[in-house]
Amino acid sequence: MATPDKSRSRFFLIALLVTSLIIVTLDLRGSVPGQTFRGITNTVLAPFQSFFRFFYDPINNFISEASNLGRSADKINELEERNAKLEEELSRFKVATRELEQLKDVLDLAAAGRYKSVPARVIAAGSAAGFSRTIELDVGARDGVATDMTVISGAGLVGRVISASESTSIALLLDDETFKAGIRMEASGILGVISGTGNSQLSLTLFDSSSELNAGDRMVARGSSNSRPFVPGVPVGTITSVDQNSGTLTKTALVKPFVNLNSLEVVAVVTGKVRVNPRDSLLPPAPKPTPTPTVTVYITPTPEPSPTKSKKAN
Amino acid sequence: MRKTLFFLPIALVALALQNAVVARIPFPFADPSIFLIVILAWAFLEDPEFAALQGFIAGLLLDLNPLSVGLIGHWAFVLAAVCYGTSEMGVQLRSSRRAPLTLTVTVTGALLISLMLFALTSWLISAEQGLSFSRTTPGVLLWSALITPLLSPLIIRMSRFAQGIGARNG
């Protein structure tokens, strides 16, 4: 039989579980101002996170250096020879160059699409263990960022802003399970919807099952009214495999996004409306098909078979 | 009550560390969850009643994490239940619960149960979060088994300190 102390703690547990179920129900009904509460948590967490941010670059560099160590003995020797100061300078330089390259790429894309955008740095990320694929950006309402704005990187679509505070904002990445966006296939202009699967690939659904889809076909964002949440023309990804199941009303395929969502550091938020739809112009140049090598062999027949050889053959 | 007040900054620091550093480093397989490791290890060393309350608070914190998009109260439900169970197990084991191996095995097991319970409840309320359970869980567990022994001396020391505060002030 349970002791009074034990039954008290059980009662307490049940009370807590019921409380959380009530909160879930209220949130399901939309009665909880979730974004307000999350904003408060953000304010509380911000000082801790900015403190830890100082450690991110050294730790990240240490891990990337460490993963290279096992690759070759020469590399180890080379690393040992470097002195600490040079190594630190090098890692700083690497971070700066990487960020500069990403910034250049994203600004190039924004300029090509005539998107009015603000560049942003990724300062925190949602965890796979928490089942949310989100990133926190260092731009917020004071930079003109608001909810439902497109987030792009140099390679293409990254996601959309789901909340914005004064100085930071949260963006939902396109591989999150709750993410959905309208797309348009390159050249053919067929419309469809991509949705995140939680995996590295996205799922594409076309509403017209008769339309032709092939691996390697590429797509851009279709764009929403008033350019929110999505501006038109942003490159999204390439089809890797098509579901050949012909009995359904829709046609589905798997899509590999152009953007590597695990190594995002600099992105941009499109803050203005798009006046001219860039259509397919922002897609990278199509990969050229590799030519099939053909080998031509010329054989010159010997003028006369020698009689001795023919005898041997017989 | 003071024990819970002591626990709150630890949970906040663990969550900030998770958001600002751990989740941004591309670990192989999946990100380790420092936050869940700390919470579950803490619960294992705590009395069931406090563990349930602290699990509830930590879960609510995870629900209200600006980077999470799930339903509010979902993690609170899961962590209150799992932390209570973990603590009950700790009480059964009595003194051996401070051994790093016991702590590691229990925390990793509790982590698996938390993720399973989260995915199961997601499926029941047909929320879209938690569908990547089968893909991320093995990695999360592997990292938990590797990281818990490293963190355990620190967590055990802090927990002892908190127990001291609890004993002195009730």
**At A167, which CATH number?**
2.40.10.340
Best to test chain B binding among A6, A13, A173 (most B CBs inside 10 Å): A13
Sorted by sequence, the CB contacts under 8 Å of residue A261 that are 6+ apart come out as A133, A158, A173, A174, A175, A200
One-letter identity of residue B10: I
Contact partners, residue A88, CB within 8 Å, separation at least 6:
none
User: Cis link prior to A285 (omega < 30° from 0)?
Assistant: no
Residue-wise pLDDT tens digits, B87-139? 998 888 877 777 888 888 999 999 999 989 988 888 887 767 666 777 788 88
pLDDT in tens, A79-135: 677 776 787 788 788 888 888 888 888 888 888 888 889 999 998 888 766 778 899
Query: How many domains does the structure of chain B reveal?
Result: 1
Q: Please judge whether B67 and A130 are an interchain contact, meaning their C-beta atoms are less than 8 angstroms apart.
A: yes
d(CA A45, CA B13): 8
> Which residues does chain A have within 8 Å of residue B40's beta carbon, measured at their own beta carbons?
none
Nearest residue on chain A to B20, judged by CA atoms?
A124
Asked if the structure places residue A92 within a domain, the reply is yes
Give A203→chain B minimum CA distance, Å. 14
Angle between helices B34-44 and B74-93 (to 10 degrees): 40
Q: How far is CA B12 from the centre of its chain?
A: 12
Q: Which domain holds residue A248?
A: 82-277
φ, ψ for residue B53, nearest 5 deg: -65, -45
Residue whose entry in the numeric block shows the structure tokens 């699409």: A113
Q: Do A235 and A157 touch, CB atoms closer than 8 A?
A: yes
Q: Which of residues 110-129 of B touch A (CB under 8 A)?
A: 115, 118, 122, 125, 128-129
Q: pLDDT band at A255, cuts 50/70/90?
A: very high
Q: What's the per-residue H, E or C state across A147-176? A: CCCEEEECCEEEEEEEEECCCCEEEEECCC
Cβ <8 Å between B132 and A178: no
Q: Does B62 touch chain A (CB under 8 A)?
A: yes
The pTM assigned to this predicted structure is 0.67
pLDDT score, position A156: 92
Cβ distance of A128 and B31 shorter than 8 Å: yes
Q: Tell me the two tokens of residue B127.
A: 């929320």
Q: Which helix (H) or strand (E) holds B158?
A: helix B133-169
- Model confidence at A143, pLDDT cuts 50, 70, 90, reads very high
- Interchain pair B19, A136: CB under 8 A: yes
Contact A151, A158 (CB under 8 A): yes
Any domain includes A261? yes
Number of domains in chain A: 1
Cα nearest neighbour of A43 on chain B: B66
Calculate the average pLDDT of chain A: 83
In whole angstroms, what is the distance from residue A61 CA to residue A94 CA? 9
The ipTM estimated for the assembled molecules is 0.86
Q: What count of CB pairs under 8 Å joins A to B?
A: 197
Task: Give the burial class of A94: count Cβ atoms within 10 A of its Cβ; 0-12 exposed, 13-18 middle, 19 or more buried.
Answer: middle
Residue A147 has pLDDT above 80, yes or no: yes
Evaluate if residue A184 carries a pLDDT over 50.
yes
Query: Which residue of B40, B69, B112, B142 is the best one to mutate when testing the A interface, meaning the one whose CB has the most A CBs within 10 A?
Result: B69
Helix axis angle, A4-28 relative to B48-63, nearest 10°? 10
pLDDT at A311: 46
**pLDDT at residue B75, as a whole number:** 92
The label of the residue with tokens 């009303």 reads A249
**A8: which chain B residues are within 8 Å (Cβ-Cβ)?**
49
What are B31-75's pLDDT values in tens digits?
888 899 999 999 998 889 889 999 999 999 999 988 888 888 999
Tell me: pLDDT of A47 over 50.
yes
Is residue A74 one of the residues assigned to a domain? no
Q: Does B71 touch chain A (CB under 8 A)?
A: yes
* CATH code, domain with B41: 1.10.1760
Within 10 angstroms of residue A53's Cβ, the number of other Cβ atoms is 18
Q: For residues B98 and B46, is the Cβ–Cβ distance under 8 A? A: no
CA angle B152, B156, B158 (to 5 degrees): 120
Residues with Cβ within 8 Å of A288's Cβ and at least 6 positions away in sequence, in order, are none
For every residue of B67-131, DSSP letters joined together read T--S-TTHHHHHHHHHHHHHHHHHHHHGGGGGSHHHHHHHHHHHHHHHHHHHHHHHHHTT-STTT
- Say what angle helices B2-20 and B48-63 make with each other, to 10 degrees: 40
DSSP per residue, A58-71: HHHHHHHHHHHHTT
Which domain covers residue B150, as residue numbers? 2-169
Measured CA to CA, the distance from residue A10 to residue B52 in angstroms comes to: 9
- Helices B100-124, B133-169: inter-axial angle, 10-degree rounding: 120
Measured CA to CA, the distance from residue A181 to residue A12 in angstroms comes to 44
Supply angle C-alpha A166, B58, B92, rounded to 5. 170
d(CA A154, CA A119): 11
Q: What is the pLDDT of residue A75?
A: 64
Question: A262 falls in which pLDDT band (50, 70, 90)?
Answer: confident
